[in-house]
Structure formats: C-alpha cells, structure tokens
Amino acid sequence: MSQQLLIFFCEDCGERNSLTPEKIQNGRVTFKCSSCKYTNSYPVPGAPDKEKKVSRSAYFGRKMEQKSNDSMPEMLRRMVCHIEMLPEVIKAFFFAPSDSMFICSLPENSYQKNKLWSICRLLSNHYSASKSAASSPVKEISLSRSNHIFFYGKLTESLFLGAITPLEHQTFPFDALIKKTTAEVQNHLRSIENDKHGANK
C-alpha cells in the first residue's frame, strides 16, 4: 500500500514538493526544497496550531497590548500575528497602496508573499471599482479564489486590512474585525502623537 503524499510549494522558488503528512507538526510544515534547498517553514491551512489559536469570543473580547515605542510597521506586524490567532483566519495582511507598504507574516521575497502581494493589488483594484460603481460608501469586499475567501476593507484613508479564510467561512464577521482593528490602529496613532507632544514640552 503506497503512502499518502501531500504537495507543498517552496516559498523561495515555487517548486512543488511531495511530502508525507508527518512533515506537519503543530500546524506547520517544515521541509527543505528538493530544487533550491531552501528551508521552508510555514502554517498549513486546515492544520492550525491549536496552542496559538483562540476562540472568536476570546479574541474580540480583549485588546491588543499597545506599545507606544513601536513604529507603525512594527505595530502592524504584531497586529498580523494577533489577528492570525482567530481560528478562521489563515493569513492576515495590511496594505497601503499610496506608499506600497505591504505587511504580512510570510518571509520577505518569498514566492508565497509575492503571490499574495499580486492578489492584494487585485483586491485593491476590485475595491476601487466597487467604490466608484456604488451609490453608497463601500467598506469592504470579498473575493473567492480556489478554496479561500479574501476579505479586504478600509481602515483609514491610506490603510487597508486583508484576511484569508477557508471557503466554508463565508459568514466570517469581517466587519467586526475591521471595527476592532481600526480602533486599535487609531489608539496607536494617538499614542504616537501624545508621545510627540510630550517630547516637545
């Protein structure tokens, strides 16, 4: 009887790698690419690390710790990890089209991050088209692709939040996530402003 093999793509070169299920430990797959020898280690959708995930009610019931000495990108990186604790969320990301800022938990210059960056630009175009065609302001959009749903919504004039969930979570409360994240971003910006005023006194 042949052993079951799973297909995983290298984050660096995009090569297909056939692996046994044993390579998945605590919701992550770790392997060396058969082509470029890059060592991959990333979360596997459908096999979450239960120790790091929290219930939806627990997530929405608590605030993320504010660190006033964080720069905006540093705070957003921490927030990505915070959002990915939700059981439905596979990946979260922030995008600022005006200055091409893109923040997610994938390794820099990896195949998967570049692919997500391309999808993010597509979502941004969808958002702009939806906004110009709608009679009332558009707050968020969703896009189905393969077995996933990409949620995308506006936090501030220049900052957007995205979240990827499995297709079965079409009713994921993305609007509530937008409200919570917007409040946390605004709190951080106020904290930075207060520190600036305090330093100038």
- Structural contact between residues 42 and 29, judged by C-beta atoms closer than 8 angstroms: yes
User: Looking at the structure, do residues 19 and 117 belong to the same domain, yes or no?
Assistant: no
Domain around 145 = 56-200
The pLDDT score that the predictor gives to residue 197 is 59
pLDDT > 90 fraction of the chain, expressed in percent and rounded = 0
User: Looking at the structure, do residues 98 and 30 belong to the same domain, yes or no?
Assistant: no
Report if residue 48 sits inside a domain: no
The pLDDT score that the predictor gives to residue 3 is 56
- Structural contact between residues 130 and 112, judged by C-beta atoms closer than 8 angstroms: no
User: Looking at the structure, do residues 61 and 101 belong to the same domain, yes or no?
Assistant: yes
User: Looking at the structure, do residues 154 and 97 belong to the same domain, yes or no?
Assistant: yes
The pLDDT score that the predictor gives to residue 1 is 42
The pLDDT score that the predictor gives to residue 157 is 77
The DSSP call for residue 23 is: G
- pLDDT of 55-87, one tens digit each? 777 777 766 666 656 677 788 888 888 888 888
User: Looking at the structure, do residues 182 and 93 belong to the same domain, yes or no?
Assistant: yes
Report if residue 50 sits inside a domain: no
* Distance from C-alpha of 42 to C-alpha of 62, rounded to nearest angstrom: 26
